[in-house]
Structure 1
């Protein structure tokens, strides 16, 4: 993208539906780290990987043991693995390059969201958020699982059971609990039903801090921005909240442990809340103050400059986009279908949304041409105008001064090997190979059925061209009628027949030159014996050499 020539008043966010992707009934989507591949989980238990540059299917991952709908898909950091959760309570880890199943684990409840550990190249840990229980930390190699605490009172025990009565905001007790890793995976952020964010150490699974969310309602979604500097929460009070991350990106767990040691005069919940105030700070709240709609899915833009919320109302496909200042800059209205999932492209102003019908819509920016960005003196016209030239516009003017030569040192070496690092991927490990593209496997074209009358018409044309009407002589009428395969080939009939048939061609009268050539041919000696002159043909009639009925 050419950032310097973009009109700043237009905004760098999507505006219209560019195209849509269709393959089966897709339920959830996720971009890889570079945005070159898009993974989609389908209702039949398969995962489809789209090449986002060509909009073609690069690979399809299908497990014969899983035919249940996919609830979430997650990429590993360098794109070599995909974790898929399904409604049959299973977690499946796939090798993307080979299309092989590495591990499959069945839990006790259906997982709504699953996330791979972002800190390792070959992840073995994942975070699963079941439908009606606390989040679980799962080891994909051994199959062991650890239930995470969701409240401070249960932090020591490490296990949680929801209360059977309703929560303060009236939501039922089986509301799922949201959880996510931080940027490097050393901390886990859990949003519970009391409107609290618990910060856990991923190694010891101990609560290190507690952050109280205003509204005290159930936290449905929680996610970090790509740069790890902001945290987003979606609560049942229909408000999206964005927090600033006050902890360092690397070594956050050790820094948090040292901070807990400094607060020595407090104990218990009060100590955890004091530490939590130094972890997250509320930045801004986003909501629709008019309709007060629920948000089905929320996310950050790739650069963290925009906050996105998808409407949870039935029968509408609306996406709200706010800037960091809290202004609503765009409402994207799609088809009259409910929205199930949403994902922003990592580096481009593109949004992919999934409708309840199973289609993926690609929202892109509608760019307008701005030629004044290239030439400031260029004037754009709304309509055609008559141009009146100046009096001296086309006069020959002498050169005022020649263009100055640019001083270039040709001895300087130009570095064409090293490339500048993209700020969006500054944490990439140069020693780790990243999977960005997959070889496309072309599917054979289905042959179209041919017309059944095509063969008979071609045969008719061939047979009609094999015998010319002018080549059938009058004396050979009987033989020609037997050999001809079409009435068009029979020409040696009477003049009345020729006049009655408009499609038949009339025989031309030979010219004077033709008569002379024929007469000369009749005077030439035959070269054969006289016995061969009167020779019956196959039809029984007698002809002399060179004699016909037409030209005696």
Structure 2
């Protein structure tokens, strides 16, 4: 990713960081509800989930069924090709189609994506399993979940009209396959072919465009109760959006709080509307009776309800190309727009004054931006370049030394400082310069009526963020749990290293044991030598004694022999 600066109040830039996806070039992206995970679709048919805080890939959803489906169709069309050989099937590469659009479900537990082959795929974010596959839908420009999560809103890119389709067979009776209401009572779907459609924040209104450059607003109608409930749509408002140079609407973008709608067309200007009357179902209890009376009093067209008001235009006189994408900042102060035909430029307008505040320039290697999405809770925007790289535009936070020392004064240029004569003299803290004693002030601040204070009275933020604090549904998954993926090759390598380390430790222990034995033998060897020397001396003494005794015995024997000889001689 390229991390660049995009705040209109500071022209500095952050360091250039680039990271390419190994699974293909990026085609589209979208933040989850909390803004900590970014889902990116690629040209290889995979969806990569980025943990934006750690800049790491936490999930990767792959669709490996395209090659199997291709083989099945080939066998059905030509049975002889099935017996040609198994080697061709093994060598055949997996067929993958680029992801054209994707969206998160409101509770962040499911992701729906449409590929270039006309398939709609729904993954479970927690387990990574492919739960649902819809075929023959057509190439889509946009996809979105309904408010009850049981159907999808499709915006085809070809000769098809925006339509609603149930996800499962059980919800098919509740959400029948219906096309959005046609404008002006027309019976020809060609008036809305290839036009984008989008749901409001509450899901009770559907805004879609027409081929003539207009906008239509339809309201959700519910007939029946329980299992017999049927859902449909009723046209309540039409707007002629056409400018002189506009031919067709490209995209519809809704702000985070759902109060601003941006219309991106082939015109040189971006049109914005205020969305009014779009509230959650919990707040509509008091208005149900009014809505019923409104339905009974209005005619079949029902064009008296006004949802889109206060039309505004954002335009750059020096730009000759049309816009490709646009988004609203999280604090609803600025509007950002980019073009795919021009260089890497992001135009920024003030949402209230409609003034062009800054034109941000990025690397020319992007060759224009095809998609853009703003972070839901941070001053940060993601732009997808035509080269398939995501560029991150963020705000630079400068260090403020006054936070460490309140009386510290920051100087743009150094200046000569004149020291006062008594500046560093030691003074009593309780005395003033004139020698009088200071009055002690208590550190506790007492409030006369603290119970009447509310959270809004604190005024911690200048902007209205009530939409974010009240945006809480049940069973919402904000964080992904840690998933341990076993790498068997690495595990085998680690086991070999462990065995090698154990053998090495065993050899070291054996070597130490031998050294200890040698030392012990050396100690015992010295005492043995002394004992051997003593034994040798004793042996020598014994030999000498034996020799002496032998000499004595020899002499005695000689004497005995002489005596015997003398006796014999006397006898003779």
- Which TM-score tier does this pair reach, normalised by the shorter chain? 0.5 to 0.7
- Taking the aligned partners of 2:236 and 2:327, their CA distance within structure 1 comes to 26
Give, in angstroms, the shift of residue 160 of structure 1: 0.4
Give, in angstroms, the shift of residue 307 of structure 1: 1.1
Whether 2:332 is the aligned partner of 1:300: answer no
- Taking the aligned partners of 1:237 and 1:299, their CA distance within structure 2 comes to 16
- The number of aligned residues is 428
Deviation string, structure 1 residues 243-292 (Cα, Å, up to 9, x no partner)? 1123242449986775565566xx86xx73xx36x332233201221122
Residues 8 and 358, structure 2, Cα contact 8 Å, conserved in 1:
no
TM-score after normalising by structure 2 = 0.65
- Taking the aligned partners of 1:194 and 1:12, their CA distance within structure 2 comes to 41
Tell me the equivalent position of 1:151: 183
Higher RCO (CA < 8 A, seq sep 6+) = 1
- Taking the aligned partners of 1:52 and 1:318, their CA distance within structure 2 comes to 23
- Taking the aligned partners of 2:445 and 2:356, their CA distance within structure 1 comes to 50
Mark the runs of 5 or more structure 2 residues left unpaired by the alignment: 1-6, 67-95, 222-231, 432-437, 459-463, 494-531, 538-572
Whether 2:131 is the aligned partner of 1:102: answer yes
- Taking the aligned partners of 1:404 and 1:10, their CA distance within structure 2 comes to 44
Structure number having the greater helix percentage:
2
Residues 36 and 53, structure 1, Cα contact 8 Å, conserved in 2:
yes
TM-score after normalising by structure 1 = 0.67
Give, in angstroms, the shift of residue 348 of structure 1: 0.3
Whether 2:355 is the aligned partner of 1:327: answer yes
Larger radius of gyration: 2
C-alpha change, 1:386 and 1:11, in structure 2 (3 Å) is closer
Specify the SS of the correspondent of 1:161: helix
Tell me the equivalent position of 1:124: 150
Give, in angstroms, the shift of residue 442 of structure 1: 6.6
Tell me the equivalent position of 2:469: 426
Residues 27 and 358, structure 1, Cα contact 8 Å, conserved in 2:
yes
Whether 2:215 is the aligned partner of 1:197: answer yes
Specify the SS of the correspondent of 1:295: coil
Residues 208 and 256, structure 1, Cα contact 8 Å, conserved in 2:
no
- What are the within-5 Å matches in structure 2 for residues 365-514 of structure 1? 365-372=395-402, 377-382=407-412, 387-398=417-428, 399-400=430-431, 401=438, 403-407=440-444, 423-429=466-472, 432-441=474-483
- What are the within-5 Å matches in structure 2 for residues 6-405 of structure 1? 11=9, 16=14, 19-23=17-21, 24-25=23-24, 26-66=26-66, 67-117=96-146, 119-120=147-148, 123-132=149-158, 133-142=160-169, 145-154=177-186, 157=187, 160-161=189-190, 176-203=194-221, 204-215=232-243, 217-250=247-280, 251=284, 258-259=293-294, 272=303, 275=304, 278-313=306-341, 316-324=343-351, 325-335=353-363, 336-338=365-367, 339-372=369-402, 377-382=407-412, 387-398=417-428, 399-400=430-431, 401=438, 403-405=440-442
Specify the SS of the correspondent of 2:419: coil
Deviation string, structure 1 residues 34-66 (Cα, Å, up to 9, x no partner)? 101111111111111111111111111122225
- Taking the aligned partners of 1:207 and 1:375, their CA distance within structure 2 comes to 61
Specify the SS of the correspondent of 1:226: coil
C-alpha change, 1:108 and 1:39, in structure 2 (3 Å) is closer
Question: What's the C-alpha RMSD, in Å, of the aligned pairs?
Answer: 4.2
C-alpha change, 1:10 and 1:239, in structure 2 (3 Å) is closer
Query: Which region of structure 1 is more displaced relative to structure 2, 189-198 or 15-24?
Result: 15-24
